[in-house]
């Protein structure tokens, strides 16, 4: 019997530590999306319905700042792991701070509401980038299972995002907002417990990571570091800068799922199916469900296309195209609802989320992996942080758009989002050739 086979426990043919990361991130996303499903609805709900009675504009603005903060904090969160706490303790501390944040929101008062939001921002910054970092440590550099491992991990993200609105949504909307927030906190607590219990499974990867870091520093000293970039490196960095802009526009449209589309579901969509009346937050589960269904199909499709598989910038273009199309689809839906004052069929939003999922599956897996390939090795961490900032700015942009929900006719608002993203897609398609030249051999 081989000792190695006994030593390394497996999970679906992957290191057992992947399960620990999978469930940690699943519960973290459960708490994030469970709370996010309720956030804007709670802020704009009248006081007699237990809400904060904020104007839609104010609610959308807070939503924008909050979601922007969550992603922006990934940059200092990565730094803290690198320089101060290491990956393991950063994730642990992050999880505890997130859970505390949700429990603060479970207490009905304005100061605990804001303190809770700030805690979740800080905690997520510590947890989210670093738990992905731990997934990376599970595989040696030569291990061909790495990409598949990250795809499984992405399923964990979406499983959490799918389940959360089904639990936190009805609790919050039907019984009490604060029970919904509390349920998010319970989820994160379960995640932290299983993370601590699973420590032994991620330990070998973490040890390897620490050794690599020491070796890398030693090599840097020995070689002497040159601080300037070559021409080729500058070209590749410029590609990251160009894609940063397009990525921001994509997420600016996409992340309105929790704001303007959530309001559209709540106010303008028929919330019944056959005899069943369901809460509007149920729609928040639709998009992650589509990701779970369609990611294997997209993976198969790219493989099937072989050398005809589109290049990374082309996939980016398709991402923008699909998200643009999704908002275009909603223009007649919104016109129907507003001009006739009726609630429209749930099929409108389901169609919107289907198209957005196609966009996400073209763009999201490509973005981060492309940065790791394009950035000069000594600044990969920094460039990944920069790329998280594009998601962060996108979230702010999304909140800004949602702020017009009550002030503009909705076909106009959704039409403007569609027009911007479709134009960006068109420009990007035109730029594919020059961008590929700048990329010099990277696909
Ligand atoms: N839904 C994915 C997640 O929560 C991707 C969203 C994003 O990166 N903006 O991680």
pLDDT at 6: 44
Whether ligand 1 lies within 6 angstroms of the CB of 178 is answered as no
Counting residues of the chain whose pLDDT is more than 70, the rounded percentage is 97
CA angle 138, 372, 67 (to 5 degrees): 90
Q: What mean pLDDT is predicted for residues 430-435?
A: 94
> What whole-number distance in Å separates Cα of residue 285 and Cα of residue 278?
12
Q: Is the CB of 128 under 6 A from ligand 1?
A: no
Q: Which atom belonging to ligand 1 lies closest to the Cα atom of 254?
A: 9
User: What pLDDT, on a 0 to 100 scale, did the predictor assign at position 224?
Assistant: 62
The verdict on the CB of residue 32 being under 6 Å from ligand 1 is: no
User: From the alpha carbon of 32, which atom of ligand 1 is closest?
Assistant: 4
Does the CB atom of residue 164 touch ligand 1 within 6 A?
no
Query: Positive or negative CA dihedral for 127, 25, 391, 384?
Result: positive
Pick from 359, 356, 200, 173: nearest CA to 279: 173
Q: How far, in whole angstroms, is CA 33 from its chain's centroid?
A: 10
Q: What band does 210 get if pLDDT is binned at 50, 70 and 90?
A: confident
Taking residues 130-137, report their average pLDDT. 91
254 lines ligand 1 (CB under 6 A): no
Ligand 1: centre distance to CA 231 (Å): 33
Continuous segment of H or E residues that includes residue 41: helix 17-44
Look at residue 315 in the predicted model and tell me its pLDDT.
94
Distance of alpha carbon 378 from its chain centroid, rounded?
A: 25
Q: Tell me if 337 CB under 6 Å of ligand 1.
A: no
DSSP track, 323-378? HHHHHHHHHHHHHHHHHHT-PBPTHHHHHHHHHHHHHHHHHHHHHHHHHHHHS-GG
Rounded Cα–Cα distance for residues 78 and 29 (Å): 18
Percent of the chain whose pLDDT exceeds 90:
75
Q: What is the pLDDT of residues 106-133, one digit of tens each?
A: 999 999 999 999 999 999 999 999 999 8
Q: Ligand 1 pocket, 157 CB below 6 A?
A: yes
Between CA 76 and CA 336 the distance in angstroms is 45
Q: How far is the CA of 440 from the centre of ligand 1 (A)?
A: 29
Among protein residues, the one whose CA lies closest to atom 9 of ligand 1:
391
Q: Whose CA is nearest to atom 2 of ligand 1?
A: 157
pLDDT at 4 over 60: no
CA distances from 20 to 9, 81, 134, 139, 296 (A): 12, 18, 10, 14, 22
* Alpha-carbon gap, residue 343 to 275, rounded angstroms: 16
What is the rounded average pLDDT of the residues 207-230?
78
Least confident of 94-108, 292-306, 315-329, 416-430: 292-306
227 band by pLDDT with thresholds 50, 70 and 90: low
Q: Which among 22, 27, 29 is the best mutation to test ligand 1's pocket, defined by most ligand atoms within 8 Å of the CB?
A: 29
Q: Is 334's C-beta closer than 6 angstroms to any atom of ligand 1?
A: no
Round the average pLDDT of the chain to a whole number and report it.
92
Which residues, 6+ apart, have CB-to-CB distance to 329 below 8 Å? Answer: 348, 351, 352, 355
Both tokens assigned to 53: 């009675």
Q: 303-323, pLDDT tens digit by residue?
A: 899 889 898 899 999 999 999
Res. 212 pLDDT band, cuts 50 70 90: confident
17-212+231-439, superfamily in CATH?
A: MFS general substrate transporter like domains (1.20.1250.20)
Which protein residue's CA is at the shortest distance from atom 8 of ligand 1?
A: 391
| pLDDT at position 7 over 70 | no
CA gap 276, 396 in Å, rounded: 35
How confident is the model over 183-196, as a mean pLDDT? 98
User: 235: Cβ–Cβ under 8 A, 6 or more apart, which residues?
Assistant: 438, 439, 440
How far away, in angstroms, is 188 Cα from ligand 1 center?
Answer: 17
| Distance in angstroms (rounded) separating the CA atoms of residues 397 and 394 | 5
CA distance 88 to 86: 6
Measured from the CB, is residue 251 less than 6 Å from ligand 1? yes
What does the pLDDT read at residue 443?
A: 67
* pLDDT tier at 226, thresholds 50, 70, 90: low
pLDDT surpassing 60 at residue 5: no
For residues 304 and 308, what is the distance between their CA atoms, to the nearest angstrom? 9
**Residue of 69, 159, 161, 395 with the most ligand 1 atoms within 8 Å of its CB, for mutation:** 161
pLDDT reading at 392 higher than 50: yes
Locate the ligand 1 atom nearest the alpha carbon of residue 255 and give its number. 9
Cβ(391) – ligand 1 distance below 6 Å: yes
Q: Give the CA angle between residues 407, 357, 325 to the nearest 5°.
A: 55
* Averaged pLDDT for residues 242-251: 95
For ligand 1, atom 5: residue with the closest CA: 364
Ligand 1 atom at minimal distance to the Cα of residue 288: 1
Judge contact between 413 and 213, C-beta under 8 A: no
What does the pLDDT average to over 421-441?
93
Q: What is the pLDDT of residue 329?
A: 98
Counting ligand 1 atoms within 8 A of each CB, the residue from 37, 364, 369, 371 with the most, and so the one to mutate, is: 364
Ligand 1 pocket check for 29: Cβ under 6 Å = yes
CA distance to 6, 7, 8, 357, per residue, from 2 (Å): 7, 9, 11, 43
Kindly report the number of other CB atoms within 10 A of residue 165's CB atom: 29
Model confidence band, residue 220 (pLDDT cutoffs 50, 70, 90): confident
pLDDT category of residue 225 using cuts at 50, 70 and 90: low
Low-confidence winner among 23-32, 47-56, 270-279, 330-339 (lowest mean pLDDT): 270-279
Residues 245-257, mean pLDDT to the nearest whole number: 96
The helix-helix angle for 260-268 and 347-374 (nearest 10°) equals 170
Residue 47 pLDDT > 90, yes or no?
yes
Residue 42 CB less than 6 A away from ligand 1: no
| Backbone φ and ψ of 276, nearest 5° | -95, 125
The predicted model gives 403-426 an average pLDDT of 97
| DSSP string covering 121-177 | HHHHHHHHHHHHHHHHHTS-TT-TTHHHHHHHHHHHHHHHHHHHHHHHHHIIIII-H
Report in angstroms the alpha-carbon separations of 241 from 14, 238, 324, 384, 423. Answer: 34, 5, 22, 12, 19
Report yes or no: 106 and 155 within 8 Å, Cβ to Cβ.
Answer: no
- CA 340 to centroid of ligand 1, rounded, Å: 35
Question: Which tokens hold the place of 357?
Answer: 């999922």
Question: What is the secondary structure of 383-406 as a DSSP string?
Answer: HHHHHHHHHHHHHHHHHHHHTTTT
Q: Please give the DSSP secondary-structure letter assigned to residue 109.
A: S
């Amino acid at each position: 019997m081989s000792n190695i086979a006994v030593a390394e426990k497996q999970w679906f043919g992957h290191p057992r530590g992947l399960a620990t990361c999978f469930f940690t991130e699943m519960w973290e996303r459960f708490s994030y999306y469970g709370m996010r499903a309720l956030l804007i609805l709670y802020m704009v709900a009248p006081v007699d319905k237990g809400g904060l009675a904020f104007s839609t504009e104010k609610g959308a603005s807070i939503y924008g700042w909050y979601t922007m903060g969550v992603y922006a904090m990934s940059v200092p969160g990565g730094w803290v792991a690198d320089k101060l706490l290491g990956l393991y303790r950063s994730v642990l501390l992050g999880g505890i701070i997130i859970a505390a944040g949700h429990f603060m929101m479970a207490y009905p008062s304005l100061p605990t509401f804001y303190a809770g939001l700030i805690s979740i921002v800080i905690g997520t910054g510590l947890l989210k980038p670093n738990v992905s970092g731990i997934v990376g440590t599970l595989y040696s550099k030569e291990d061909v299972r790495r990409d598949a491992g990250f795809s499984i991990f992405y399923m964990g993200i979406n499983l959490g995002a799918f389940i959360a609105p089904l639990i936190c949504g009805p609790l919050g909307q039907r019984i009490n907002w604060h029970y919904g927030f509390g349920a998010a906190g319970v989820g994160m607590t379960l995640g932290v417990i299983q993370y601590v219990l699973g420590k032994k499974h991620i330990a070998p990867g973490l040890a390897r990571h620490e050794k690599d870091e020491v070796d890398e520093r030693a090599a840097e000293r020995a070689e002497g570091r040159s601080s300037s970039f070559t021409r080729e490196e500058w070209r590749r960095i410029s590609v990251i800068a160009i894609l940063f802009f397009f990525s921001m526009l994509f997420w600016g449209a996409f992340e309105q799922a929790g704001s303007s589309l959530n309001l559209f579901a709540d106010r303008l969509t028929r919330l019944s199916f056959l005899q069943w009346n369901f809460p509007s937050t149920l729609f928040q589960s639709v998009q992650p469900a589509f990701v779970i269904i369609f990611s294997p199909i997209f993976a198969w499709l790219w493989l099937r296309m072989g050398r005809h598989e589109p290049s990374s910038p082309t996939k980016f273009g398709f991402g923008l195209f699909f998200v643009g199309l999704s908002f275009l689809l909603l223009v007649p839906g919104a016109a129907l609802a507003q001009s006739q004052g009726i609630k429209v069929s749930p099929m409108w939003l389901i169609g919107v989320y289907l198209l957005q999922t196609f966009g996400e599956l073209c763009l999201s897996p490509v973005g981060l992996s492309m940065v790791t390939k394009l950035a000069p090795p000594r600044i990969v961490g920094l460039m990944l942080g920069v790329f998280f900032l594009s998601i962060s700015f996108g979230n702010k942009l999304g909140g800004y758009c949602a702020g017009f929900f009550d002030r503009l006719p909705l076909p106009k608002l959704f039409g403007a989002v569609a027009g911007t993203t479709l134009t960006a897609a068109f420009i990007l398609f035109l730029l594919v050739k020059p961008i590929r030249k700048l990329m010099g051999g990277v696909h």
